[in-house]
Amino acid sequence: MSGNMNLTLKIWRQKNNKAKGELVNYKVADISPDMSFLEMFDVLNEQLITKGDEPVAFDHDCREGICGICSMHINGRPHGPKHGITTCQLHMRSFKDGDTIVVEPWRAQAFPVIKDLAVDRSAFDRIIAAGGYVSVNTGNAQDGNTLPVPKTDADMAFAAAACIGCGACVAACKNASAMLFVSAKVNQLAHLPQGQPERMERVRAMVAQMDKEGFGSCTNTGACEAECPKEISLVNIAAMNRDYLRANLLDSEG
Amino acid sequence: MSLNSNIPEGQLEEKWTKYKSTVPLVNPANKRNLEILVVGSGLAGASAAASLAELGYKVKCFCYQDSPRRAHSIAAQGGINAAKNYQNDGDSVYRLFYDTIKGGDYRAREANVYRLAEISPNIIDQCVAQGVPFAREYGGMLSNRSFGGTQVQRTFYAAGQTGQQLLLGAYSSLERQVGMGTVQMLSRHEMLDVVVIDGKARGIIARDLVTGELERHFGHAVLLCTGGYGNVFFLSTNAMGCNTTAIWKAHKKGAYFGNPSFTQIHPTCIPVSGDHQSKLTLMSESLRNDGRIWVPIKAGDTRHPSEIPEEERDYYLERRYPAFGNLVPRDVASRAAKERCDAGFGVGTSKMAVYLDFKFNMMRYGRVEATKNGLTDASDSTILNLGREVVKEKYGNLFDMYKQITGEDPYEIPMRIYPAVHYTMGGLWVDYNLMTNVPGMYCLGEANFSDHGANRLGASALMQGLADGYFVIPYTIGSYLSKEIAVKPISTDHVAFVQAEKEVKERINKLLTINGTKTVDHFHKKLGKVMWDKCGMARNAKGLQEAIAEIKKIRDEFWKDLRVLGSADEFNPELEKAGRVADFLELGELMCMDALERNESCGGHFREESQTEEGEALRDDENYSYVAAWEFIENNWKLYKEELKFENIKIAQRSYK
């Protein structure tokens, strides 16, 4: 078909967590511009299996940009060249015939490689488990309208809550910092009345867990915001720092 | 074995209240000794695991994804229904109950559905308390919108990401328990068999997907919350990993499968663009609030939509169903789209699409905004721009998603949409307690058959998943576990565990050693095509009989010519996929058998032999007013019928005219 592309792929192959990885070259032909990037990987894997080579392992599930599992570092950018989308939402019309595309896993000490392009992001779950919730048991709730929430607060909470936990922020950061992820959850709850009782304890606990997991420090470069597929704002980090400082001051006052 | 739905005695409105007050309880000290396995971490699984742990039970929760936050509930877009009547527009528990029974074309149990409607307001309250950022009005109150099959506004939402926000709420409750050590979370784990000892579910065999190791887990009860099986069609709006494996293994260990053929084909999805397609993407039903569906009046009209004048457009839903218009239930809207496309009125290059057009409502919103801002002589383009901003706030992420996939801007030209497989109403048969016919084995959420009859109404899946997990199972599980308090944990060296693990291992080895020539997807696509062509939006006896024969043939080829590379003791996504497709190849056959047996049309199940003169689904209440529950018997199935009694609703030919 006209408009279809032939491409060279350089893909990170790594047998398991302990093995040494390397970039391996592959060719794919006749790729339609309407395909998604992951569908192009499907084509590659079908080709590899038919040839008797092991397919490339990569994480993917919803393929509509919401589950947050897909995680490819494409030509040096998390989720590839387009702004505000995940890998699964990237379409081949963003590339041209003859292109060479380099695909690597997320690179961060706190995200060890499992195999090829799949990494372990369970550190994020542990950060949420440390405090990313409102302590309310099922059955405790009062009527949802008894506590009005100003629309602007609800909207700001929602904007922060749109985070899909993909880890692109960490992958984009030269320090592999998880500040954007953590601050998104902290601020979602900080904007809502339901989040107030535990606000100070929450930020301290989540930051402590983040540090324990081995994520790096934030130096306000802003790469995380630039690469975030859900366009989570850097303002969240500033707001979290404010809360964190306050929490520690309050604590030192005893 | 006979079917006992265990519906409590008494008036419909009092059943659940009475049940809750009289169900046996388990005291806190005993709860600590009772272990519960929850398979799946979507809305049903996460809410059940969290709520049961809060009560004091020892819980293990399993999911195949790398984190429980990624379960496919996350992708639900439009909203969640609740009978709050915040809009003062005549809603009530009874009306939600009535709409759901009617929407399901009178093929659901009254008592279950009434309980669902009764619980619905508590769900909203619970989610708000967790910090779920629902959409709000300027006064700070919760906002509502309309969904199909209803004439009130009872749908709560968070932009087009309601499922995400609700799941993250349930996930945070779950992680809170994980942090407290009351839930052990096992991500990247897949259940590959259930262990039944002396007729009771006592555990599962799970595979650690990273190391490939098989694990045995004991539980006093097992909860399957593993979602729907729409991926049997290969192309669906489900996530790539959604599967039937857990409930299929349970079925093969004795659990009956209820109404397997009841599949929901969602009317508004982005059409298929080519053979490479791996999945289909939904455009939320909420868009039908503000979008009008049309095709050209002239068949084969190839003009650009903006060049087709108003009088040459056929707003066929508004024409055929004036009372509900664009908000008819999904099954009705899907069939109507298929009818127009089959008749040659479809649009786009494939001609298998219809327009969903927002311009009319953008203008309407724009005029309101202009008035609010005192712009009395605003031009049409100013009004359109103002209206666009309103639409953007409501559905921005959906419009962006559409543009990403198709390369077209839906603010400028109408969306092209076509029906796609979305949800399965069928699932494991459960009683009022959500227990399957295997004692100790429960099934929650989309994985069970219980509440939606032959067609689910929009924004009711989230409602059911959370109702089951937060508010039903914490009560109903007590009626079983109160009798289990003396049961000590059974050693996983028990012969039943050993045998189950051995069988799982043998099957994995078999998949890896066929050494054929074809990939898993090759067979999956073949199966999907048969299912879509012959067990999809329209079904007939001849097609279904052919499908059964074809599926058997594909299954034979699969076990002779499959190629799966790599080994069992490593991260091997192809191997996972192979096991799931092997199960789909069995389920597909049962779905066709069920569709063949039910020689009537109801809801999403449209038998061409049974339709009214106007082409609407024609039920046969005299012969088919039952739930079909299928028992697996080696290489065959036996049908049991649970008769449906309607004591509180007058059943009638469903009409949305």
pLDDT tens digits, B487-506: 999 999 999 999 999 999 99
> What span, in angstroms and rounded, lies between the C-alpha atoms of B164 and A66?
8
B330 included as an active-site residue: yes
High-pLDDT (> 70) share of chain B, %: 100
pTM: 0.97
**Same domain (yes/no): A67, A154:** no
User: How far from B253 is each of B192, B203, B216, B508, CA to CA, in Å?
Assistant: 12, 12, 16, 18
Architecture of domain B493-643: Up-down Bundle (1.20)
**Shortest CB distance from B140 goes to which of A42, A151, A158?**
A151
Residues A128 and A66 in one domain: no
How far is residue A188's CA from residue A236's CA, in Å, rounded to a whole number?
A: 9
Residue carrying the six token digits 């499992």: A114
CA distance B278 to chain A (A): 7
Q: Which of residues 188-217 of A touch B (CB under 8 A)?
A: 188-189, 191-192, 194-195
Question: What is the rounded distance in angstroms from the CA atom of residue A83 to the CA atom of residue A65?
Answer: 13
Residues B554-610 have pLDDT tens digits of: 999 999 999 999 999 999 999 999 999 999 999 999 999 999 999 999 999 999 999
Which residues contact residue B197 at a Cβ distance below 8 angstroms, ignoring those fewer than 6 apart? B203, B490, B494, B496
Residues B278, A32: C-beta atoms closer than 8 Å = no
Domain ranges of chain B: 266-420, 493-643
A237, A135: one domain = yes
> Could you tell me if A152 and A202 lie in one domain?
yes
Q: For residues A52 and B243, what is the distance between their CA atoms, to the nearest angstrom?
A: 26
- A46 vs B137: CB contact, 8 Å cut-off? no
Residue among A114, A129, A161 whose CB faces B133 most closely? A161
- Do A155 and A221 reside in the same domain of the chain? yes
- Same domain? A240 vs A153: yes
Q: Does B414 touch chain A (CB under 8 A)?
A: no
Q: Which residues contact B364 (CB under 8 A, 6 or more apart)?
A: B387
CB contact under 8 A, B179 and A39: no
Token digits of residue B601:
């049309």
3-class SS of residue B589: helix
Chain B within 8 Å of A28 (Cβ-Cβ)? no
Residue of A38, A51, A67 to mutate when probing chain B, most B C-beta within 10 A? A67
B266-420 CATH? 3.90.700.10
Contact between chains at A135 and B176 (C-beta distance less than 8 A): yes
Q: Among residues B293, B249, B237, B219, which one has the least CA distance to residue B421? A: B237
Question: Do A34 and B136 lie within an 8 Å CB cutoff?
Answer: no
How far apart, in whole angstroms, are the C-alpha atoms of residue A5 and residue A96? 7
Same structural domain for residues A70 and A127?
Answer: no
Of residues B274 and A207, the one with the higher pLDDT is A207
Inter-chain residue contact B240 with A66, CB threshold 8 Å: no
Q: How confident is the model at residue B2 (pLDDT cuts 50, 70, 90)?
A: confident
What average pLDDT is seen over chain A?
96
Reply yes or no on whether the pLDDT at B635 is more than 90.
no
Model confidence over B170-197: pLDDT tens digits?
Answer: 999 999 999 999 999 999 999 999 999 9
What is the structure's pLDDT at B160? 87
Residue B653 pLDDT grade (very low, low, confident, very high; cuts 50, 70, 90)? confident
CATH of the domain at A45: 3.10.20.30
Which structural domain, as residue segments, surrounds residue A195? 122-139+147-252
A232 belongs to a structural domain: yes
pLDDT of residue A250: 84
Which residues does chain B have within 8 Å of residue A184's beta carbon, measured at their own beta carbons?
A: none
A159, A69, A66: which is closest to A105 by C-alpha? A69
Q: What is the pLDDT of residue A1?
A: 53
Q: What residues contact A64, with CB distance under 8 A and at least 6 apart?
A: A88, A89, B75, B279, B281, B282, B401
Same domain as A193, residue A157: yes
Confidence (pLDDT) at B214: 98
Contact status of B399 with chain A (Cβ, < 8 Å): no
Asked if B140 and A150 come within 8 Å (Cβ–Cβ), the reply is yes
Residue found by looking up tokens 């535990």 in the block: A198
Cβ of residue B405 closer than 8 Å to a chain A Cβ: yes
Q: At what angle do helices A199-212 and A122-131 cross, to 10 degrees?
A: 150
Contact: A138, B126; criterion CB under 8 Å: yes
Distance from the Cα of A37 to chain B's closest Cα (Å) equals 11
Interchain contact B75–A (C-beta under 8 A): yes
State the total domains in chain A. Answer: 2
Same domain, A202 and A248: yes
For chain A of 254 residues, list the mean pLDDT of each consecutive stretch of 10: 88 97 98 96 98 98 97 98 96 96 98 98 98 97 96 97 98 98 98 98 98 97 98 98 95 64
Substitution target in A41, A44, A45, A64 with the highest count of B β-carbons within 10 Å is: A64
- The per-residue pLDDT of chain B, averaged, comes to 96
Complex ipTM: 0.98
Do A96 and A130 fall into the same domain? Answer: no
Condensed to tens digits (0 to 9), the pLDDT of residues B10-28 reads 999 999 999 999 999 999 9
Count Cβ atoms within 10 A of the Cβ of residue B633 and give its class: 0-12 exposed, 13-18 middle, 19 or more buried.
Answer: exposed
* A84 in contact with chain B, both atoms CB, cutoff 8 A: yes
Same domain for A96 and A128, yes or no, is: no
One domain, residues A126 and A241: yes
